[in-house]
Amino acid sequence: MLKKNVQLIGPDSYPQMLSKQAAARAMQILRSTQTAAKAQEAMQAAAPPMRAAILQYVDELESAGADMERVFEKAHEIRGFAQTAGLVTTGRIAEILARYMDEMLRIDKPMDKAVVALHVSAIARAARATQDDVNMGKVVATELAALVGRRLASVQRG
């Protein structure tokens, strides 16, 4: 219910931020190879500080121990930033852990501490590896996802 003193302003009543010509020019600049190169440079420059932040999250994840709430929080943070920082495998494994924990919370079942610990260990190893081995990461992620799938199926059955 709207209050009597409220005035609704239609979207067509707002002034345009850019003219059609200026908007076309802006889009041309955004699509240019020079802009793409500058964006790539910026992403590469941001990677080292982001990696440092991910490693700090990993330290906090490991120190969380059996505090599943903290593990859950850190796994979500890691999965959100790891790939951008060039840690594809780390992000993939954190994603599997986060989904497992999300699902266990959703069905209101206790988390298997061994499954969580295995994921935490794999996340830490992947994050600290000198080079991200994406192919090996795929194998590890596939196996962990299969483990989580079996665990969820057994919990949901009984």
Helices (H) and strands (E) in the chain, counts: 6, 0
pLDDT, tens only, 46-55: 888 999 999 9
**pTM (global) more than 0.75:** no
Domains detected in the chain:
29-157 (1.20.120)
- The pLDDT value given to residue 46: 85
- Tell me if 90 sits within 8 A of 82, measured CB to CB: yes
Q: Which residue ranges of the chain lie beneath pLDDT 70?
A: 1-3, 132, 158
